[in-house]
Structure 1
Amino acid sequence: MGRVQDKVVLITGGGSGIGAASAKLLAKEGAQVIITGRTQEKLDNVKADNDQIHTIQQDVTKAEDWDRVITEIKEKYGHLDGLVNNAGITGPEEGSIEDLTDETFYQIIDTNIYSVYKGMQVAIPLMREAGKGSIVNISSTSGLVGTPDAAAYGASKFAVRGLTQSAALELVDDHIRVNSVHPGVVETEIRLFEEVVETTPMKRVGKAEEIAYLVLYLISDESTFSTGAAFTADGGYTAK
C-alpha cells in the first residue's frame, strides 16, 4: 500500500516543475492524480503511460474552468481528498514598485492568489462530502520575507499564506487541513534569483522532487495534526 493509496488529488500547474514532480510521486504512492494546466502537450508529457495520472486543460484564472474541472472530478470519482494549488507565475521582470504596471500586477495576482482562493472554494464541498481532506497551497520564501523588485509576486505569495491560515481555522471542524509550502529557489523556476542562491546556506538550488516529498507528506494521513502551518524547503535561506 502506498502512502496516499486510493486518494483522489488535484494538482494545478501540473505540466512542469513542482506540480509535475508531485503528480508523479503521489501517483507512485497510490493516488489517483488529476493535473491541470494551460498546455495539453505538457500535461500529456507528464502523464506519459501512467494510468494513475489524468489530465484536464485549465486556465486557473477563469472561474468557469474551475467549475468544469470540479464537475469532471465529481462525476468520475465522486469525491476529492487533496488539492495542491501549485499554479503560479513570476511574470515579466517587475522592476521597482514605481515601474510596475497595472497589467503585470493583476496578471500575477490573478494567477497566484485568485486561483488559490477559487480552487479552495470549489473543492471544499467535495472534501466535506468525503468527511476530510488536505489542501496544500504552494507559496514561496517570498511569502515569508521581502524580495526586491518583485512587489507583486511577493504580495501574492504573502497573500497565499494568509489565505491558508484563515481557511485552516474555518475548516478545522470539517477535518479539512490547509497548509502552505514555501520553497526557496528551485531549479525548474522560470526566473532564477542568483543572489538568493549565493545567500542560501546550502549554496544550491532545490530540486522539484525535494518539494514533492513535502507535498506528499501533507496530502498523506501522516500529517493529520498539521494545519494552518507554513512549511519551508529553502536550504536554510529564511533561517538566517
Structure 2
Amino acid sequence: MNFLQGQEALTNIEWILRAIIAFFFLLTVAKLLGQRTISQLRLLDFVIALVIGNIIAHPLSDEHLGLKGSIISTIVLVALYLCSIFSILKFPSLRRLINSSPITIVQDGEILYKGLKKARISIDVLIEELRQQKIDDVEKVSLAIWEADGNISVFLHPKYEPITPSTLQIETESFNLPRIIIKEGRINFKELKQTSRDEGWVVSNLENLYQTEVKNVLLATLDNKDNLKVFLYK
C-alpha cells in the first residue's frame, strides 16, 4: 500500500490504483453527505467533476507535480464513470444503490418528518422550496417528493390548482414560438427565411410602424400571425 504515501515517483499501476481508490472513496463520501449537498447534480456527476477538477488543477499550480500522473488518473476516472453509467442503465439494482430513491416529504397536506429526516433537510428548507414555487400553505400540497437531484416535485390538491382553459373546456390554439428576426441591430436571415418574409418587408414595417431602422432594433420577433414585436435600444 506504499502508493498511498507521498513519494518521489509512482508507477503507472500505482497511479491507476490511486485513481480507483479515490473514485470509490469520494463516491461513498458524496453518498453519505446526502442529496442536499449535491443538489441538481447526480451522484456520479458530482464525484467525477470534483475529482477531475482537483486532479488537473494540482499539476498546473505545483511545479513539482508532473502532468503524466494526472492524465493517467483522469483517463481511469473517465473510464470508471462511463462503466458506471453503463452499469446503471443495465442493472436496475445497481441504479437503486447509487441513485437515491425519491422521498415523500409531504402527503395530503401533512409534513412527513421521517421523510425530511431521510432526505436530510429541515423545515426551513422545505418552506423555502415551497415559497419558490409560490405555495404559501403546506396544507395546499397533495404530494411533495424530494428527488435524487435535490429538487422538490410538488403537486397541489386539485381544488388549489390554477384554472386553465382545459379546466373550463375552452378550445385554444396550438403554441407557436415567435421567431427572432432581428437581434442587436442585425437581421437573422435564417430565421427570416422560415417566415416567408424578406428584408424589404422587415425594413418597410419598421419604417411604417416604428419609424426606425434595423440598426436601432435591440430585438424583433415575428409570430405565425405576422405580429411583429420590436424592442428598441434605450
TM (norm. structure 2) is 0.22
- Rg comparison, structure with higher value: 2
TM (norm. structure 1) is 0.22
